[in-house]
C-alpha cells in the first residue's frame, strides 16, 4: 500500500473531493484525520474510512480559526504519534449559493470570509503541521487551488484571487521547506461534480440536471466533468512516494481545460 504507516490530515473532509481523498488514503494504509466544520459529515466520512479498513478521527475544525487548527493538529499527533501528510482541501465560495458576484457588488465582508477560508486556512493548517513534519524528517503538503485562478469561468473575484494566492503560497512553501524533506504541491481542479452544485440543480428535473452537467463537461476536451475520485488519485500521487522528486508543482486535473474543445 502506498501510504502504509503514514498519518494524514484532510481538511474539508466531510464531503466531495475531501471525502474521496480520505477514503482512498485509508485504502492505501494511512491513518486519516477528517477535519471539517460539518461534524455529521465528517463522522460519515470516518465511517467510510473505517469501512475501507482504515483508522481515523473526525474532528470539528474551522480552518480560519487558529485555535481550532492548533487543537485539531494536536489531537492528530496525540492519537497517532506523528503527522506526515496534510491536504489543504477546505474551501468554498461562501454565500449566494456560489452564484457569480460582480466586483462592484462584492462586499468587504464577503471578500474577507472567502479569502480567509480559501487562503488563510491553508496558511494556518500548514503553519501547525510543518513543525511535526520537520520533527519526523518528512512531510507531504497538498494544496487545493482551482482552474479559476488562471481561467475564471464566471465572476468570483474573491474566490479566484484566493485560489491564485494558494498557487503562490505553494511555490513559496516548496522552496522554503524542500531542504527539510517536506514536499509542497497543488492540485488545480476543473469542473468536478461535487455537492457545490446541489443548490444550483435542486429545482431542476432529472433530465434538466443531466443536461446541465453534460453542458459543463462538454466544454472540456475529454468531454465530461470530473469526479471526486479523479482528484483523490492526484492527491495520492502527491502524498505518496510516487512523487519522490516532485515539489513546487501545480497540477491541473481538469479534463484538458483551459484548452478549447475542438471539433473532430
Q: Which residues are catalytic?
A: 159
Q: Tell me the CA distances in angstroms from 29 to 23, 233, 246, one per residue in order.
A: 10, 14, 22
Reference 176, options 204, 141, 211; nearest CA is: 141
Cell of residue 85, nine digits: 501528510
Specify whether the backbone of 128 is left (phi greater than 0), alpha (psi in -120 to 50) or beta. alpha
Amino acid at each position: 500500500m502506498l501510504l502504509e504507516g503514514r498519518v494524514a490530515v484532510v481538511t474539508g473532509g466531510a464531503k466531495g473531493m475531501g471525502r474521496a481523498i480520505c477514503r482512498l488514503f485509508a485504502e492505501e494504509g494511512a491513518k486519516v484525520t477528517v477535519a471539517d466544520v460539518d461534524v455529521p459529515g465528517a463522522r460519515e466520512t470516518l465511517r467510510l474510512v473505517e469501512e475501507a479498513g482504515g483508522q481515523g478521527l473526525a474532528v470539528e475544525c474551522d480552518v480560519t480559526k487558529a485555535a481550532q487548527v492548533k487543537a485539531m493538529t494536536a489531537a492528530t499527533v496525540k492519537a497517532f504519534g506523528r503527522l506526515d501528510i496534510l491536504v489543504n482541501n477546505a474551501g468554498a465560495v461562501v454565500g449566494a449559493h456560489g452564484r457569480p458576484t460582480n466586483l462592484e457588488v462584492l462586499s468587504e465582508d464577503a471578500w474577507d470570509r472567502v479569502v480567509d477560508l480559501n487562503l488563510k486556512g491553508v496558511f494556518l493548517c500548514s503553519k501547525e503541521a510543518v513543525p511535526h513534519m520537520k520533527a519526523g524528517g518528512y512531510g507531504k503538503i497538498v494544496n487545493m487551488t482551482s482552474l479559476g485562478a488562471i481561467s475564471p469561468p464566471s465572476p468570483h473575484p474573491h474566490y479566484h484571487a484566493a485560489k491564485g494566492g494558494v498557487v503562490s503560497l505553494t511555490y513559496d512553501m516548496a522552496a522554503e521547506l524542500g531542504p527539510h524533506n517536506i514536499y509542497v504541491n497543488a492540485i488545480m481542479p476543473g469542473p468536478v461534480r461535487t455537492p457545490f452544485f446541489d443548490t444550483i440543480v435542486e429545482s431542476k428535473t432529472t433530465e434538466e440536471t443531466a443536461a446541465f452537467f453534460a453542458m459543463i463537461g462538454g466544454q472540456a476536451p475529454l468531454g465530461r466533468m470530473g469526479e471526486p475520485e479523479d482528484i483523490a488519485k492526484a492527491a495520492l500521487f502527491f502524498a505518496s512516494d510516487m512523487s519522490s522528486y516532485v515539489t513546487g508543482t501545480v497540477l491541473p486535473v481538469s479534463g484538458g481545460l483551459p484548452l478549447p474543445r475542438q471539433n473532430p
